[in-house]
Every structure is written in structure tokens, then in C-alpha cells.
Amino acid sequence: INAICRKVARKVVGVGKQYSEEITAGRVTEHLGIPRYRPSMLEEHNQIGIATGLAWTEAGGELLFTESTMMPGKGRLTLTGQLGDVMQESAKAAMSYVRSRAEQFGIKKDFHHHTDIHVHVPEGAIPKDGPSAGITLATALVSNLASVPTRRDVAMTGEITLRGKVLPIGGLKEKVLAAHRAGVTTIILPKDNEKDLADIPKAVLDVLELHLVESMDEVLKIALVSPLTALLPSQDQPDSQISNSDDQVTH
């Protein structure tokens, strides 16, 4: 708005006080140039090896797609997409977690002896860092190795430990608003971030299905199109979900 006002003011100085101009939506590009920010949108189909994460940027929240593919090799893990040190460590932690649980996920326990894994986060010209993509990375890896598609309408954010625990993250409000803006209907969040939901408009929370989780087992039950055999519902690990009808947490 300031930029537009300055340009109009210059015209007033040059033409005179009689100058007037109506700024419509169609004329915004004329004054400010082409949009610099392109909001991300959901994938069109459920796919194997692709998980939708959430990131915080200076422009607000953003969807963060994580891709995983495999090929014959000797266990090499390749990370691309201009990932920072912390995010690379998250990817390695996610891989170690998946390897430690491979058989329980229906994955051959020695897969790393003859398989190379490549993890890529698109928009490689943009630097990315932080631990909050941990559960997204792990989900993409499990989906890829177990050949089970992920749900396109699910987005997630959370740090992962080697034991598969889900730890809290920052920028929750911006991330949830970005997911809502992109058409996401289900969001997986760390249980310890429940208090931060108070910062999000009720109108947004009312149309979202929010799952507050403490472990990767819970994440995978929600994010994958079909459940892994070892993760079929049990009474040992209940899922915490925000019920939008009565605004209460149910267990």
C-alpha cells in the first residue's frame, strides 16, 4: 500500500492536485509488478513417497513438499533442495528411525544394503532449515519403502527423535493458516503445541481436522492411505484429535 501511495503521490506532484486515480485489483500489478509470492497448492493425487509438510517463512507459512525415491545401490542417502545442517540431521534421524522399525513397517530389514535413497525438497533455489520437517521426512521415507501412498489432503509438522517421538515446533499459527489457505483438510501437529492453537482464528479451526500426536506411529496411521500391518488401531496409543464440532480435545 505504501508503494502504491508513493507512486500516486509522484503523479500528483507532476500533474497537479486535480490528478486522481482509482486503484482496482486489476491495476495492482501495474503499480507493483508481477507477484513475488506464489502460494503452494495441494498435489492432485495421492502418491507414493511424497509427504506434505509445513514451513515458516518471512512471508508467512508455506507448504513444504518432501519427495523420496529409491534405486539400486549400497545404502547411500542423498539430500537435495538446499537443506540446512539442522534439516539434514532431521533427515538422517528419520532414516535411522525407519531402519530401526523396518520389519514392523513391512519393509525388508536389510533394504539399505542394496538400495540408495534420494530425498528432495522442491524449489531448490530457496534455502530450507530447521527440525520441524522431521515427521514429514519420515512419512515420505516409509511411504516410499513400503509402497503405500500418502494422503494428499494431510499436512504435518513436527520434530522427530530416533525413538519416533514427536517434539514441538515453532510458527504454528502461520503454518496452520498456510495449510488452510492451500485447501488442506487434515493437519498433524505435536501434542505439545496444543496450547498454541489459541492463537489461531476459531473460524479456521472449525473447518480443519487437527490431530495432536506424540509418536510417529500415530502420524503414519493418519497420513498413509492404507494402514501398515503393524500400525493397526490399538488401545495402547490413542490419537488425540481436535473435534471441531464442540471445540474440545477427545482421546
For the annotated catalytic residues, the residue numbers are 132, 175
Rounded to whole angstroms, the Cα distance separating 246 from 166 reads 26
* Cα dihedral 117→121→123→127 (10° resolution): -110
| Beta carbons within 10 angstroms of residue 139's beta carbon | 32
| Torsion over CA: 72, 73, 77, 78 (sign) | negative
Please report, for residues 17, 118, 123, 190, the alpha-carbon distance to residue 80 in angstroms, rounded to integers and kept in the order given.
56, 8, 10, 26
What is the Cα gyration radius of the chain?
22
- Contact status, residue 109 vs residue 97, Cβ threshold 8 Å: no
> Could you please report the per-residue DSSP string of 37-64?
-------SS-BTTEEEEEEEETTEEEEE
